[in-house]
């Protein structure tokens, strides 16, 4: 793929991600303005619980597919049947766990949590199909597939907010999420059945025939689990610090505080979609293939992309600092004005995340994933423990500071590991 074509593809993926994030952001903005900070905080905490457990439901299968097809080419189709059996079991298990967790809340919050638990099925279906579209290089279809559910949720919530007006509640919004998720699941099942019958072709590469990491011709669900669990663990660890602050805030400081923090965090999460589009959607499948073919190319891309990403991240942070006094009241209303200092603290994490994303993606390989999980697990555990202590004393701003420190710690750790393993002693920015 030429440089110009690569830039065009990444730009297309980024624009698609921005549109998806925009619809998601607008849907939650309409909800936040309609129900107030307290109810929005309860909704955000329940949604965070579903999102945080979603990697366990997928059990890392979608990321494992990137590795399997990246290394084996079209021979990776042998992993599909066992993968789908595993995901059926784990998703149903997590759904039941979410229902059980809801029983510890008030009756109203338990009902909200039970409806939002259905969202897990949509998340998994969209991720599995998206993974196959990534592998095939069908980026236009990938953008459309991931964009439509966000747009549908936004439209549903707008229609419901208009119809019910003052009586519109978080339960209505949860129903919109559930309907879209079940619809996404139905479409995913249809798509995956076709793929399971090998009614398509994957892109092979030169060394695909040499790269089989397993001799099993028909891997079972257990065989898939043995290979995929480490990728699922990465997702769980990541979301445990990415989403835990909202849940801990609700527990310690109440639903209003969780709502205020969530409004600021939504903006940060939307900005984070840019490095995710570049690395997770475009480069990650290629990194798995280049691990066996051309590690030098991975190094060169990381050197260049890291510098560009750092500059974009710094510019984004400065723009957000300038805009935050106007952005928060404009988007969410005066009730959320206390989110401005929180957003200013979280904004410092933007260049850190932009820089670290490339190193993180390069470490999602067979040889480094366990080390990456160990480092992430230690830092994430420290982050969760620190959140309980710091939020108790400093509230919402304390949660933002803990999150910032976590991002900085992960960035430093990923840089050190990537320099030692991927670059093998070479200095970033110098030729190997």
Q: Three-state SS string across the chain, please?
A: CCHHHHHHHHHHHHHHHHHHHHHHHHHHHHHHHHHHHHHHHHHHHHHHHHHHHHHHHHCCHHHHHHHHHHHHHHHHHHHHHHHHHHHHHHHHHHHHHHHHHHCCCCHHHHHHHHHHHCHHHHHHHHHHHHHHHHHHCCHHHHHHHHHHHHHHHHHHHHHHHHHHHHHCCHHHHHHHHHHHHHHHHHHHHHHHHHHHCCCCCCCCCCCHHHCCCCCCCCCCHHHHHHHHHHHHHHHHHHHHHHCHHHHHHHHHHCHHHHHHHHHHHHHHHHHCHHHHHHHHHHHHHHHHHHHHHCHHHHHHHHHHHHHHHHHHHHHHHHHHHHHHHHHHHHHHCHHHCCHHHHHHHHHCHHHHHHHHHHHHHHCCCCCCHHHHHHHHHHHHHHHHHHHHHHHHHHHHHHHHHHHHHHHHHHHHHHHHHHHHHCCCCCCCCCCC
Mark the ranges of the chain whose per-residue pLDDT is less than 70.
Answer: 1-7, 10, 195-216, 281-298, 366-367, 422-432
Q: How many domains does the chain have?
A: 1
CA of 26: how far to CAs of 49, 154, 192, 344, in Å?
21, 7, 30, 21
Is residue 212 in some structural domain? Answer: no
Is residue 285 in some structural domain? Answer: yes
Is residue 208 in some structural domain? Answer: no
Find the domain containing 123 and state its range: 3-202+219-421
**Contact at 8 Å (CB) between 240 and 380?**
yes
Is residue 213 in some structural domain? Answer: no
Is residue 44 in some structural domain? Answer: yes
Is residue 290 in some structural domain? Answer: yes
The distance between the two most distant Cα atoms of the chain, rounded to a whole number of Å, is 63
**Integer Cα distance of 272 and 407 in angstroms:** 12
Is residue 306 in some structural domain? Answer: yes
**Integer Cα distance of 429 and 432 in angstroms:** 9
Is residue 32 in some structural domain? Answer: yes
Which residues are CB-neighbours of 302 under 8 A, at least 6 positions away?
A: 358, 359, 362, 418, 422, 423, 428
**Integer Cα distance of 263 and 333 in angstroms:** 11
pTM metric for this prediction: 0.74
Which residues are CB-neighbours of 61 under 8 A, at least 6 positions away?
A: 83, 86, 87, 128, 131, 224, 228, 231, 232
Specify the pLDDT at position 289.
Answer: 61
């Amino acid at each position: 793929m030429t440089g110009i074509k690569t830039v065009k593809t990444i730009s297309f993926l980024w624009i698609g991600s921005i549109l998806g994030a925009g619809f998601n952001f607008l849907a939650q903005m309409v909800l936040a303005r309609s129900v107030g900070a307290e109810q929005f905080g309860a909704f955000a905490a329940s949604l965070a619980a579903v999102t945080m457990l979603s990697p366990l439901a997928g059990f890392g299968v979608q990321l494992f597919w990137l590795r399997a097809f990246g290394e084996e080419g079209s021979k990776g189709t042998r992993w599909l049947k066992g993968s789908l059996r595993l995901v059926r079991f784990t998703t149903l298990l997590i759904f039941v766990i979410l229902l059980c967790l809801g029983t510890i809340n008030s009756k109203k919050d338990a009902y909200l949590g039970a409806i939002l638990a259905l969202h897990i099925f949509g998340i998994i279906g969209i991720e599995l199909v998206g993974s196959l579209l990534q592998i095939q290089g069908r980026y236009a279809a990938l953008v459309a597939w991931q964009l439509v559910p966000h747009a549908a949720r936004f439209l549903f919530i707008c229609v419901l907010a208009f119809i019910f007006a003052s009586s519109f509640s978080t339960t209505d919004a949860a129903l919109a999420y559930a309907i879209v998720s079940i619809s996404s699941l139905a479409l995913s099942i249809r798509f995956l059945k076709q793929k399971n019958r090998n009614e398509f072709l994957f892109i092979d590469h030169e060394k695909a025939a040499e790269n089989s990491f397993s001799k099993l011709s028909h891997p079972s669900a257990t065989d898939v689990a043995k290979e995929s669990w480490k990728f699922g663990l990465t997702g769980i660890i990541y979301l445990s610090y990415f989403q835990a602050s909202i849940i801990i805030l609700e527990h310690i400081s109440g639903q209003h505080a969780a709502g205020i923090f969530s409004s600021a965090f939504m903006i940060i999460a939307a900005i984070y979609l840019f490095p995710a589009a570049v690395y997770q959607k475009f480069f990650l499948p290629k990194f798995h293939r280049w691990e066996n073919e051309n590690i030098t190319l991975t190094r060169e891309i990381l050197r260049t992309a890291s510098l560009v990403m750092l500059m974009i991240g710094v510019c984004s942070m400065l723009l957000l600092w300038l805009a935050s006094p106007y952005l928060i009241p404009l988007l969410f209303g005066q009730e959320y004005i206390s989110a401005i200092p929180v957003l200013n603290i979280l904004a410092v994490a933007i260049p850190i995340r932009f820089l670290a994303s490339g190193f993180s993606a390069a470490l999602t390989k067979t040889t480094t994933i366990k080390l990456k999980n160990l480092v992430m697990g230690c830092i994430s555990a420290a982050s969760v423990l620190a959140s309980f202590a710091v939020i108790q004393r400093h509230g919402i701003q304390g949660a933002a500071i803990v999150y910032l420190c976590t991002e900085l710690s992960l960035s430093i750790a990923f840089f050190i590991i990537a320099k030692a393993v991927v670059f093998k002693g070479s200095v970033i920015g110098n030729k190997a």
